[in-house]
Amino acid sequence: MTISEKNELLDNLSTHYTRLNYLKILAEEKNSSPDVLAQIERRKIRLKTEIDMLLKDLYANWIGDAAQLKTSVDSGNQGLNRCIADIEGDVNVAQKIVEALDYVDEVINLAGDLLK
């Protein structure tokens, strides 16, 4: 991966993290259970850890196809955004939070795989 591709991937992960923060705010506004809020917070911590590790390792040799990784992260961001839009519209709030967390887990795993 080129430096430019790495920076773009980190930007996409940062966008995902920002959307996850918004998801937490929405979940709080929709009076989600403390358990659900704790799940979101754990995902935030995990994603932030992965982003921090990627930043630290920016100049190391990464393995993988940048275009495929970008597509996967972009797909995760789109899915997360769809879930957030549904939550904003009071559509299956609890189910959409679970679905959103699945997208977050997918992106966290992709980021973690970069460091293996």
Which residue has better confidence, 76 or 114? 76
Share above pLDDT 90 across residues of the chain, in percent, rounded to a whole number? 49
Alpha-carbon Rg for the chain in angstroms: 14
Instruction: Give 115's DSSP letter.
Output: T
pLDDT digits (tens, 9 = 90+) for 70-94: 778 888 889 999 999 999 999 899 9
pLDDT tens per residue across span 39-77: 999 999 999 998 888 777 764 554 455 666 777 888 888
Q: What are phi and psi of 45, to 5 degrees?
A: -65, -45
Is the pTM for the entire model greater than 0.85?
A: no
